[in-house]
Chains A and B, each alone.
Chain A
């Protein structure tokens, strides 16, 4: 789950991390007050909005309305701006970088910081980045914060505030099941205050059940992806025209790859998972048909999954949807022969192997089969 800046900042504030004052609006007419002078910031779930013209200053309320009008509806790297955040302008003395992520190889949370904030962390030379693993079972110890302060060249009250923000960001990272907590820049104002200039927060989707208040948040999903999410189906829309459905994430990815090698292009990633429940299969097919593919390529390797039950689900979905989209199906598993019989009965194209199925799907699409 990704969070827009204003939403992330409200969560940061809950943990006691200082954030600037601001108001969020969806339409310029909604602007009745703003912390002037302010920055008008596009709220999108993607980076690079500054460069794309999504962050602009305003001195007066009228100007804030005019700038908001410009930014709202803007397309930023493929994301439409639906909201702007009018935020208090900070008197910047210096900008730092601070983040918590996980290091998969070390299997531990990773604290990263730099005295150079406001730029992409990847663009910084290694020696300018402070990196320290934090064992999840132990937590963030004070010595790490002392090392951090020294590395960043901080002293006195500023060092204390940065240490405090770091400790709170770690607490947030753990308690909110975050994949990423990033403050870039972490601003030190001319008055010596430490404030989160920006806020990035990504929360583990698997932890949704512990944070039900986030379930309703607008994610960067298409309408169909949203429908799939609500039904608990793993479904991603891609830009090809062959609807791919398989069981298991690895096999679904691999089916897309094989299709590509055979000259086709996948339009969906639909992972049926371990189910052979005809109802679930039918639901998945309904989604697939709504995505309007030229051909559907079904690839099931069911060791335990019953092939005929899957086939029945497919049949049912096609009937219910009155769909005449051709289906190329490869189903391996228990009761394979019966499955083929069912599929042939409704005019589908059965295939033996994954490669054969991919080839056939490309042929059918070209009208050559």
Chain B
């Protein structure tokens, strides 16, 4: 069984009529994802890529039995969309939208947890289970089915690493782009716990970056609870303190969040850390 997202997922695209929504609906359909419905307030009754569009999540769920959603709506309306999805009883909500004020995330992420809903993101490339389903914006062609679970705070850097993995013969069980924001729905530790349980996953790749203490907490969790081999990469070794490196989460404040501290924590937990992104594949070969 794949994690979080399987071929059983009946996906709803929130914000399906926007440029991104349309484009990725096509790409997800091509990948084999069951995109069953879309929402766009005021545009109910129309179709996008032959997917029926509804005015609300409730209608989409009632008529098309959607059980997961991907959110493309612009940042000012994302909180509304996510809460609507949670109240609509969708079990997985993938938030692609970037630049969401984190005070909004501080509300919808804990709310999702109280309702037993998994949120991925915001500000993420989504989730993909090669050979089964994709709820995301990642380029499909670089993935292939396999037994490595991938957890990443980044988008294109993940593609870089996954591409090298696939070329070296390491396919992926599921790849979760957890997102680059300070507050995210599914964090590194939670993603590790999911992969540790998943029978299809035999090894795990963690792609971290500077800022926060997610990698340090992950290292601690790995030491205590993860029996599968884990390899890691940490971006931002040369980033100067106090400068936000693009992601809202990627900033070194005081002595917290440095790459050195993360690499050390991983090493102490017996997790080899790749110097170059391309080396992840080599490290996997020795697991």
- Neighbouring A residues of B42 by C-beta, 8 Å: none
- Neighbouring B residues of A23 by C-beta, 8 Å: none
- Neighbouring B residues of A207 by C-beta, 8 Å: 101, 103
Q: Does B131 contact A (CB under 8 A)?
A: no
Q: Among the listed B23, B213, B245, which residue makes an inter-chain contact with A253, where contact means beta carbons less than 8 Å apart?
A: B245
Q: Does B107 contact A (CB under 8 A)?
A: yes
Verify A251–B276 contact, CB threshold 8 A. no
Within 8 A of A (CB), among B97-111: 99-103, 106-107, 109-111
Stretch at the interface among B46-54, B60-68, B223-231, B232-240: B232-240
- Neighbouring A residues of B156 by C-beta, 8 Å: 246-248, 250-251, 301-303
Q: Does B249 contact A (CB under 8 A)?
A: yes
Q: Among the listed B152, B246, B276, which residue makes an inter-chain contact with A261, where contact means beta carbons less than 8 Å apart?
A: B276
Q: Among the listed A137, A353, A355, which residue makes an inter-chain contact with B110, where contact means beta carbons less than 8 Å apart?
A: A137
Q: Does A269 contact B (CB under 8 A)?
A: yes
Q: Which of the listed residues B157, B183, B214 has the most CB atoms from chain A within 10 Å of its own CB?
A: B157
Q: Does B160 contact A (CB under 8 A)?
A: yes
Stretch at the interface among B136-144, B195-203, B264-272: B136-144
Query: Whole-angstrom distance between the alpha carbons of A135 and B239 in the complex?
Result: 32
Query: Whole-angstrom distance between the alpha carbons of A252 and B210 in the complex?
Result: 13
Q: Does B44 contact A (CB under 8 A)?
A: no
Query: Whole-angstrom distance between the alpha carbons of A234 and B239 in the complex?
Result: 15
- Chain B 103-123 near chain A by CB (<8 Å), digits 1 or 0: 100110111000000000000
Q: Does B153 contact A (CB under 8 A)?
A: yes
Q: Among the listed A174, A204, A257, which residue makes an inter-chain contact with B237, where contact means beta carbons less than 8 Å apart?
A: A257
Q: Among the listed B155, B182, B237, B240, which residue makes an inter-chain contact with A250, where contact means beta carbons less than 8 Å apart?
A: B155
- Neighbouring A residues of B254 by C-beta, 8 Å: 122
With contacts A248-B154, A301-B156, A303-B159 known, is A253 near B106, CB below 8 A? no
Query: Whole-angstrom distance between the alpha carbons of A135 and B109 in the complex?
Result: 11
- Chain A 298-325 near chain B by CB (<8 Å), digits 1 or 0: 0001111000000000000000000000
Verify B245–A109 contact, CB threshold 8 A. no
Verify B103–A234 contact, CB threshold 8 A. no
Q: Does B217 contact A (CB under 8 A)?
A: yes
Q: Among the listed A102, A104, A269, which residue makes an inter-chain contact with B245, where contact means beta carbons less than 8 Å apart?
A: A269
Verify A304–B137 contact, CB threshold 8 A. yes
With contacts A137-B111, A206-B248 known, is A303 near B138, CB below 8 A? yes
Verify B209–A253 contact, CB threshold 8 A. yes
Q: Among the listed B76, B237, B246, which residue makes an inter-chain contact with A249, where contact means beta carbons less than 8 Å apart?
A: B246
What number of B residues sit within 8 Å (CB to CB) of A?
60
Q: A50 to nearest B CB, angstroms? A: 18
Residue of A nearest to B259 (CB): A257
Q: Does A271 contact B (CB under 8 A)?
A: yes
- Neighbouring B residues of A104 by C-beta, 8 Å: 182-183, 212-214, 249
Within 8 A of A (CB), among B202-219: 207, 209-210, 212-214, 217
- Neighbouring B residues of A304 by C-beta, 8 Å: 23, 27, 137, 139
- Neighbouring A residues of B236 by C-beta, 8 Å: 253-254, 257
Verify A206–B239 contact, CB threshold 8 A. no
Query: Whole-angstrom distance between the alpha carbons of A269 and B251 in the complex?
Result: 13
Q: A228 to nearest B CB, angstroms? A: 12
Verify B106–A108 contact, CB threshold 8 A. yes
Residue of B nearest to A101 (CB): B253
- Chain A 219-249 near chain B by CB (<8 Å), digits 1 or 0: 0000000000000001010100000001111
Query: Whole-angstrom distance between the alpha carbons of A356 and B6 in the complex?
Result: 37
Residue of B nearest to A238 (CB): B240
Verify B99–A250 contact, CB threshold 8 A. no
Q: Does A266 contact B (CB under 8 A)?
A: yes
Q: A330 to nearest B CB, angstroms? A: 10
Residue of B nearest to A136 (CB): B106
With contacts A108-B106, A354-B278 known, is A206 near B101, CB below 8 A? yes
- Neighbouring B residues of A271 by C-beta, 8 Å: 246
Query: Whole-angstrom distance between the alpha carbons of A220 and B181 in the complex?
Result: 22
Q: Does B29 contact A (CB under 8 A)?
A: no
Query: Whole-angstrom distance between the alpha carbons of A312 and B209 in the complex?
Result: 31
Query: Whole-angstrom distance between the alpha carbons of A60 and B198 in the complex?
Result: 73
- Neighbouring B residues of A189 by C-beta, 8 Å: none
Query: Whole-angstrom distance between the alpha carbons of A209 and B76 in the complex?
Result: 8
- Neighbouring B residues of A353 by C-beta, 8 Å: 278
Query: Whole-angstrom distance between the alpha carbons of A105 and B138 in the complex?
Result: 26
Verify A250–B275 contact, CB threshold 8 A. no
Q: Does A343 contact B (CB under 8 A)?
A: no
Q: Does A361 contact B (CB under 8 A)?
A: no
Q: Does A107 contact B (CB under 8 A)?
A: yes
Q: Does A295 contact B (CB under 8 A)?
A: no
Residue of A nearest to B182 (CB): A104
Q: Which of the listed residues A104, A204, A353 has the most CB atoms from chain B within 10 Å of its own CB?
A: A104
With contacts A104-B182, A136-B103 known, is A252 near B245, CB below 8 A? yes
Verify A254–B142 contact, CB threshold 8 A. no
With contacts A204-B103, A250-B153 known, is A105 near B187, CB below 8 A? yes
Query: Whole-angstrom distance between the alpha carbons of A108 and B187 in the complex?
Result: 14
Query: Whole-angstrom distance between the alpha carbons of A145 and B23 in the complex?
Result: 50
Which residues of A come within 8 Å of B, CB atoms?
Answer: 102, 104-105, 107-109, 122, 135-137, 174, 177, 179, 204-207, 209-210, 234, 236, 238, 246-254, 256-258, 260-261, 266, 269, 271, 301-304, 332, 353-355
Which residues of B come within 8 Å of A, CB atoms?
Answer: 23, 27, 75-76, 99-103, 106-107, 109-111, 137-139, 141-142, 152-160, 163, 180, 182-183, 187, 207, 209-210, 212-214, 217, 233, 235-240, 243-250, 254, 275-278
Q: List 9 A-B contacts (CB under 8 A).
A: A210-B76, A249-B247, A250-B235, A250-B250, A253-B209, A261-B276, A303-B159, A353-B278, A354-B278
